[in-house]
Chain A
Amino acid sequence: MTLFNRKSRWGTKSLFALALAAMVGMVGVAHAQDGAIKDPERTHYYEVFKNKRVVFVPVFMGLDLTEGWSKMMSIQAKRLGYSYEVRNANFDTSAGVQILTQLLNEKPKPDVVVIQNPDVTSYAKLEKQMEDAGIYVIQLNMKSLTMTGFAGADATVIGETQADWVVKQCGPNTSRKILILNGPTTAPWTVYMQEGYNNVLSKNPDIKVVARQSIGNYDSSKAKSITEVTLKQHPDLCAIMGVWDIPDLATGAAVKDAGKSGKVLVSTSGGGGEVACKGLQTKAFDHYVSYDVPGQSRDVNDLIQMALQLRDKPGKIKVAHYTPLSVLTQADVDSHKCWTIDSLK
């Protein structure tokens, strides 16, 4: 009997509970029919970003790349309500070091610092120190030797893509002579891209690199002069692999001046902005590897969001987002629309 009684009491209780739950549920449904359900995750998500501070330290503002990234980062900051500022190193590495040192000692210190490295070593130590001090470091497009979060193109793959194309174009019926134009000697862009070139060229010993020259700090005039001199030395040059679209407009101009458009092929890379379309339209470029700045901006914005939401100490998780690259040629000009600062929304 006692057993039965207990059971029945239990039954009444659960019946009540069930009824209560059903009522709450029905109220909930009724409420949802009015408007919407409150997502508990959402409130927490927006709370996280309040009073947070993100700083971008580019090599130089005023380029399509940096202006594009910065615009997209500031749009996300406004949307999520954290503060965003730019500290421009203005093409001066020592100024950049000073900016980073100051950020390290500022109070309140920034939560996330997005850094575009001018070379592989200058900022490396400071980036480590920043992580130790509790600041999340995200490197953007140009990497240093320190591993942190990274969003950007894989310069080695850019180099390989360019070299693969050039090897294909410069077949046995051509002179197989190529010219390589580098950036600054220790810039990450230069060293990693060289690795890519070498990976492909070492498998194709027939290709003859007639000159491998640095154009200094991406100097258009140097690119043009070097191309001109090389074309006089090797009028049968097959192709030129350039380092970046902007100075390579001048490389293309030198080829055009020599009356060799279409005969001496120019391969270059860049953020896929207006310069890309202009270069392909004017036939200054024959092959363009784009690292798609709008896509990169999305990647870096995701990393910023992640860093701001993480509760781990910086440096524990190192996430890299390598940008998917796309190749443009003169045939794509009509169908492909290049982004501009105004088109980024």
Chain B
Amino acid sequence: MTSKHIIRLDQQSIVFLISLIIFCCFSIFLPNFFTVGNLIAMMRSISVLAILGLGMAIVVIGRGIDLSMVALMAVPTALVMTMVDSGNGLVLSITVGTGFAIIAGGISGLLVAYAEIPALFVTLATGLALAGLGQVGILKADMVSWSDGMNPIRWIGGASLFGIPSSILVAAFMFIAVGWFLKKTKIGRFIYSIGDNPNTARTTGISVRPIMVLQYILAALIALLAGFVMAASNNLMDTRIYNLSLIYDVILVVVLGGIGLSGGRGGVWSVLVGTLLVGIVFNGMTIMNFPLDIQDLFKGIILLIAIAVDSFLNPRNEETAQQGDI
């Protein structure tokens, strides 16, 4: 028992160890892997994923899930860019986009918290609805390019400070902010207790439902931020991204790092560890010129190993299992 307390081998540390081993292997065997330039490129490529992962972490820790995050990232951002492109002011456009994100996240939250519909279905539906709304109504095209009117906020993803791309800095800032929010604020602690056991949380006097709504609104706002970072960095927002597998990557980095889907566990470190592993693997395999399909296969195998090792080292029984464990 004592040895377990000294080195707690939970999923987070296991994944960290795996990342470290792969990192060392790549550094030794791959030329130009362990260079400042390559490591910066690697971190930039995962910064949007990390920001989305942080938003997802808040929801998952509170025992929810938000499958609409990618749509929430793409559609409000594209709306802002379309508005600016057709001559509206930047401030007005951002206000409208933010309001739109808050309303969309709020609707998901209300349906989950008050109507008590499972989050999986609610957010799947709101995500689809948002993507559809983007296609038929509010956007002119699925691909919105970065217009000159947006340049005042270009620094968010398309600039660099001391050679470090701003998207990495935004991601780092978000790690600190979300970490502080989850660990140091009252609401953050409440989210953990709600995720741990909503009934107990309610009995202790926490207003569970409003906080659940807040989780989804926060996730929506973080997704919007990720959208701006992505658009500024890529020079366009491609709303088709909703149809791509990005949302699985977001869930992957969250679960990989040890934020249990049953809620109440993990934190920003889990997201960091999960994202780093995905980033290292992607980067190394690109250098080795592996086909994309093999990369996906590899990601899946790593996730399976991490979960298997975790359930071997930390077996679940009636005592430790939580209600709603997936």
Q: A62-B142, A64-B143, A225-B45 are in contact. List 20 more A-B contacts (CB 8 A).
A: A60-B142, A210-B289, A212-B289, A218-B240, A219-B244, A220-B236, A224-B233, A224-B234, A226-B286, A228-B44, A228-B45, A229-B38, A229-B45, A233-B32, A233-B287, A246-B143, A247-B238, A250-B234, A250-B235, A250-B236
Interface extent on B, as a size class? 35 or more
**Given A211-B286, A232-B41, A284-B235: A219 touches B241 (CB 8 Å cut-off):** yes
- Bound form: Cα–Cα A232–B38 in Å: 6
User: Distance in Å from the Cβ of A169 to the closest Cβ of chain B?
Assistant: 22
A275: CB under 8 A from chain B? Answer: yes
User: Distance in Å from the Cβ of A187 to the closest Cβ of chain B?
Assistant: 12
Interface residues of B in 283-313 (CB under 8 A from A): 283, 286-287, 289, 291-293
Residue ranges of B at the interface with A (Cβ–Cβ < 8 Å) = 31-32, 35, 37-38, 41-42, 44-45, 48, 135, 139, 141-143, 145, 158, 160, 165, 230, 233-236, 238-241, 243-245, 282-283, 286-287, 289, 291-293
Asked if A211 and B289 make an inter-chain contact with CB atoms under 8 angstroms apart, the answer reads yes
**Given A185-B293, A221-B234, A278-B145: A216 touches B41 (CB 8 Å cut-off):** no
Q: What are 26 A-B contacts with C-beta separation under 8 Å?
A: A60-B142, A60-B243, A61-B135, A62-B141, A63-B141, A67-B141, A92-B243, A210-B289, A213-B286, A214-B292, A216-B244, A219-B244, A220-B238, A220-B241, A224-B234, A225-B44, A225-B45, A228-B41, A229-B45, A233-B31, A233-B287, A246-B238, A249-B234, A249-B235, A253-B234, A341-B141
Residues on A with beta carbons closer than 8 Å to the beta carbon of B286: 211, 213, 225-226, 229-230
- Bound form: Cα–Cα A278–B45 in Å: 24
In the complex, the chain A residue whose C-beta lies closest to that of B141 is: A62
Asked if B135 and A233 make an inter-chain contact with CB atoms under 8 angstroms apart, the answer reads no
Q: Which of B32, B42, B45 is the most central at the interface, judged by chain A CB atoms within 10 Å of its CB?
A: B45
User: Distance in Å from the Cβ of A312 to the closest Cβ of chain B?
Assistant: 38
In the complex, the chain B residue whose C-beta lies closest to that of A67 is: B141
Residues on A with beta carbons closer than 8 Å to the beta carbon of B38: 229, 232-233
A41: CB under 8 A from chain B? Answer: no
In the complex, the chain B residue whose C-beta lies closest to that of A342 is: B140
Q: Which of B143, B165, B293 is the most central at the interface, judged by chain A CB atoms within 10 Å of its CB?
A: B143
A16: CB under 8 A from chain B? Answer: no
Asked if A229 and B240 make an inter-chain contact with CB atoms under 8 angstroms apart, the answer reads no
User: Distance in Å from the Cβ of A220 to the closest Cβ of chain B?
Assistant: 5
In the complex, the chain A residue whose C-beta lies closest to that of B284 is: A229
Asked if B143 and A275 make an inter-chain contact with CB atoms under 8 angstroms apart, the answer reads yes
In the complex, the chain A residue whose C-beta lies closest to that of B142 is: A62
- Bound form: Cα–Cα A185–B289 in Å: 14
- Bound form: Cα–Cα A110–B233 in Å: 45
- Bound form: Cα–Cα A215–B282 in Å: 12
Q: Which secondary structure dominates chain B's binding surface?
A: helix
Q: Quick one: which of B35, B233, B291 contacts A232, CB cutoff 8 A?
A: B35
User: Distance in Å from the Cβ of A168 to the closest Cβ of chain B?
Assistant: 25
User: Distance in Å from the Cβ of B244 to the closest Cβ of chain A?
Assistant: 5
Residues on A with beta carbons closer than 8 Å to the beta carbon of B31: 233
User: Distance in Å from the Cβ of B161 to the closest Cβ of chain A?
Assistant: 13
In the complex, the chain A residue whose C-beta lies closest to that of B234 is: A250
CB-CB nearest 4 A-B residue pairs: A62-B142, A225-B45, A214-B292, A250-B234
Asked if B234 and A60 make an inter-chain contact with CB atoms under 8 angstroms apart, the answer reads no
In the complex, the chain A residue whose C-beta lies closest to that of B145 is: A278
A98: CB under 8 A from chain B? Answer: no
Residues on B with beta carbons closer than 8 Å to the beta carbon of A90: 243
Asked if A221 and B143 make an inter-chain contact with CB atoms under 8 angstroms apart, the answer reads no
Residues on A with beta carbons closer than 8 Å to the beta carbon of B44: 225, 228
Residues on B with beta carbons closer than 8 Å to the beta carbon of A225: 41, 44-45, 282, 286
Asked if B240 and A91 make an inter-chain contact with CB atoms under 8 angstroms apart, the answer reads yes
Asked if A232 and B240 make an inter-chain contact with CB atoms under 8 angstroms apart, the answer reads no
- Bound form: Cα–Cα A246–B42 in Å: 23
Residues on B with beta carbons closer than 8 Å to the beta carbon of A211: 286, 289
Residues on B with beta carbons closer than 8 Å to the beta carbon of A250: 234-236
User: Distance in Å from the Cβ of A341 to the closest Cβ of chain B?
Assistant: 8
Residues on A with beta carbons closer than 8 Å to the beta carbon of B142: 60-63
Residues on A with beta carbons closer than 8 Å to the beta carbon of B45: 221, 224-225, 228-229
User: Distance in Å from the Cβ of A274 to the closest Cβ of chain B?
Assistant: 8
Interface residues of A in 95-119 (CB under 8 A from B): none
Residues on B with beta carbons closer than 8 Å to the beta carbon of A185: 291-293
User: Distance in Å from the Cβ of B86 to the closest Cβ of chain A?
Assistant: 13
Q: Which of A60, A90, A214, A220 is the most central at the interface, judged by chain B CB atoms within 10 Å of its CB?
A: A220
Residues on B with beta carbons closer than 8 Å to the beta carbon of A34: none
Residues on A with beta carbons closer than 8 Å to the beta carbon of B165: 257
Residues on B with beta carbons closer than 8 Å to the beta carbon of A253: 158, 233-235
Binary contact track A226-238/B, C-beta < 8 Å → 1, others 0:
1011111100000
- Bound form: Cα–Cα A284–B41 in Å: 19
Residues on B with beta carbons closer than 8 Å to the beta carbon of A216: 244-245, 292
A217: CB under 8 A from chain B? Answer: yes
- Bound form: Cα–Cα A41–B287 in Å: 64
User: Distance in Å from the Cβ of A247 to the closest Cβ of chain B?
Assistant: 8
In the complex, the chain B residue whose C-beta lies closest to that of A221 is: B234
In the complex, the chain A residue whose C-beta lies closest to that of B289 is: A211
- Bound form: Cα–Cα A247–B145 in Å: 11
Residues on A with beta carbons closer than 8 Å to the beta carbon of B291: 185, 213-214
Interface residues of A in 60-95 (CB under 8 A from B): 60-64, 67, 90-92
Q: Which of A213, A230, A247 is the most central at the interface, judged by chain B CB atoms within 10 Å of its CB?
A: A213
